[in-house]
Structure 1
Amino acid sequence: MDVYEESYPVGFTAVDESGYLSMAAAFDYFQEAAIRHAEALGVGRAPMAEIRQGWVLSRMSVLMEKRPRQEEQITVRTWPRGWEKLFAIRDFDILDRAGIPIVRARSCWLIVDIDKRRPLRPQATMEKLPLNEGRDSLADGGSSLETMEAAGYHPEKLGERRAAYSDIDFNGHMNNARYVQWIQDITDPDALTKAKAMRLDINYLNEIKLGETMEIRTVSVPQGTFIEGRRTGDGQAAFRAKLRLNPAV
Structure 2
Amino acid sequence: MDIWQETFPLRFGNIDRSDRLTLAATFDFFQEVAISHAESLGVGREAMARTGQGWVLSRISVFFERRPQWGETVTVRSWPRGWDRLFAVRDYDIRDASDTPVVRGRSNWLILDIEKRRPLRPQAVMGTLPLNEGLDALPGGAGSLDARDDLGKAGERQARYSDIDYNGHVNNARYIQWIQDVTDAGVLEQANQMRLDINYLSEIKSGETIELWTAPISGSDAPNEPPPARAIAYEGRRREGDQAVFRAELRVFGGS
**TM-score over 0.5 for the pair:** yes
Q: CA deviation at 1:159?
A: 2.1
**Counterpart pick for 1:239 among 235, 246, 253:** 246
1:171-182 to 2 correspondences below 5 Å: 171-182=167-178
The residue aligned with 2:183 is: 187
Aligned to 2:223: none
- Counterpart of 2:144? 144
Q: Structure 1 residue 125 and structure 2 residue 145: aligned? A: no
Which residue of structure 1 lines up, in the alignment, with residue 104 of structure 2? 104
SS in 2 for 1:193: helix
Structure 1: how far apart are the matches of 2:110 and 2:208?
A: 23
Tell me the secondary structure at the aligned position of residue 192 of structure 2.
Answer: coil
> Which residue does 1:28 correspond to in 2?
28
TM-score, reference length from structure 2: 0.94
Residue by residue over 1:133-170, the C-alpha shift from the partner in whole angstroms, topping out at 9 and shown as x without a partner, is 00000011110000013xxxx11111221111111111
Contact 2:155 2:182 survives alignment (8 Å) = no
Give 1:37-76 correspondences, 5 Å limit: 37-76=37-76
- 1:227 and 2:223 aligned: no
Paired with 1:28 and 1:126, the residues of 2 have a C-alpha distance of 23
* Runs of 4+, deviation exceeding 2 Å: none
Corresponding residue number in structure 1 for 2:155: 159
Structure 1: tracts of 5 or more residues without a match: none
CA distance in 1: counterparts of 2:154 and 2:188, whole angstroms: 18
Q: Distance in 2 between matches of 1:221 and 1:141?
A: 18
Give the CA deviation at 1:103.
0.2
**1:217 counterpart letter in structure 2:** W
What's the CA shift for 1:227? 0.3
Percent of matched pairs sharing the same residue = 58
Q: Which residue of 1 aligns with 2:199?
A: 203
Amino acid at match of 1:66: R
Aligned-partner Cα distance in 1 for 2:131–2:40: 15
Following the alignment from structure 2 to structure 1, what is the Cα–Cα distance between the partners of residues 41 and 76?
17
Alignment gaps of 5+ in structure 2: 221-230
> 2 CA distance for matches of 1:240 and 1:178?
14
Aligned length: 244
